[in-house]
Amino acid sequence: MAALEQCRRRLAHLGRVLHAVEHIYHAEPVREGPLAGLPYVAKDMFATGRSRPSWGCSAPQAPALPRASVIDRLDLAGASLIGASTMTELAYEPSGMARRRALNPWRFDAIPGGSSTGSAILVAAGCCFAALGSDTGGSVRIPAHCCGITALKPGHGKIPLDGAMALAPSLDTFGIFARSAADLALLWPVVSGDPVTNIENLPRAVLLRDAFEASDAEIAGVCRGAVSVLAEGGMRIEETDGFSEEADLHALTVLLAEAAREHRARADDPAIDAMLRKRISKGLVITDSELAAAIAARDALRDQFILCGLGEDQVAVLPVMPIRTPVVSEVDPASARFNPRVLYALSRFTRFVNYLGLPALAVPAGFDSTGMPVGLQLIGRPGSEGMLLQVAIGLQERTDWHGRVPTAVASDIAGEP
């Protein structure tokens, strides 16, 4: 139980310094089970039974919801919930800019990614073994890229989101962070009920060439380097133009429209960030028929992507983000350096996956020239979460990118195991 106590100490000190903690929970007796004493945190949108979620807002927002079933599953397995992590308002901001700016443990002037911001930071900084999040347009994969850790977004509806805030129900998905895919493989059977079994035959990796060509040259190069490691491990690599621009456009329509309908009462709430209010108002302009048309196109586009980008037994690979992790001033509307195109690019390669409802995994792929981590995204067919984890485990057995200590917090944890 020494690791549990160590995480509690780090959470109380380092987690607070990084502005990544919303609540710290008092210690409870450790239950027996396959995850006995495993320390984890939950994004502050889940009903934990320990505190009222704030949903990233300035005051508690949630009504008295029943405790989320995923929390029950982890508790029954013996895992120890030690805190709630910070998030951006209403889980509707991809950079991680929140009421009190959370700090990226690699570089404090870089964005940490959002909206599951605190969850990614706390895992990267060693304040917990795992963290729960949600992903509507990239909200676990983007911060995983920015913070240099591993994150799984299961297929839509695979894990129930009862007891959690809704943003865009057609896109909302549970997500989970850990440092490595092997760590996630310990948790996945508990939260999903599915085993993670060794795959006898490696799938083929299909590199989405058009996504790589649309990325910054440095990002594409780093991710191609990670793909070459997969090839060295025995995977056959193919290339195709498979990124779905049409699915991406529909994803934006559904996100804007459904989020506005879920939170229309906040469009005129002065307590909510002005950019967020503007985003909600923009979604209210989208008609019901436009929303219905976007949703109706999904099945055909998903089938097309599976046929062209995945085939029978393949994994699609592309960068998590087409750009390097930006500095805060580039995504801060109050800054003279603000660039809305940068903000848009953060979820450029992630939101279409939510629209298609497919599982995806973000895995560290190396570092850019500034020393910031870069993430590779793996996309699979429905029900292939276990296979994605096995592919990532194989990659991480041959690399150490996921095990590096973030530079900005290295001195705080130097000398600790």
Q: Which residues are catalytic?
A: 43, 115, 139
Q: Which residue has the tokens 């190069």?
A: 221
Q: Which residue has the tokens 């060693």?
A: 126
Measured CA to CA, the distance from residue 192 to residue 72 in angstroms comes to 12
Map the chain to HEC letters: CHHHHHHHHHHHHHHHHCCCEEEECCCCCCCCCCCCCCEEEEECCECCCCCCCCCCCCCCCCCCCCCCHHHHHHHHCCCEEEEEECCCHHHCCCCCCCCCCCCCCCCCCECCCCCCHHHHHHHHCCCCCEEEEEECCCCCHHHHHHHCCEEEECCCCCCCCCCECCCCCCCCEEEEEECCHHHHHHHHHHHHCCCCCCCCCCCEEEEEHHHHHCCCHHHHHHHHHHHHHHHHCCCCEEEECCCCHHHHHHHHHHHHHHHHHHCHHHCCCCCCCHHHHHHHHHHHCCCHHHHHHHHHCHHHHHHHHHHHHHCCCEEEEEECCCCCCCEHHHCCCCCCCCCHHHHHHCCCCCHHHHHHCCCEEEEEEEECCCCCEEEEEEECCCCCHHHHHHHHHHHHHCCCHHHCCCHHHHHHHCCCC
The closest alpha carbon to 229, from 67, 49, 399, belongs to 399
Q: In what order do the strands lie in the sheet with 39-43?
A: 21-24, 80-85, 39-43, 130-135, 173-178, 150-153, 360-367, 373-379, 314-319, 204-208, 237-240
Cα torsion through 371, 373, 374, 376, rounded to 10: 150
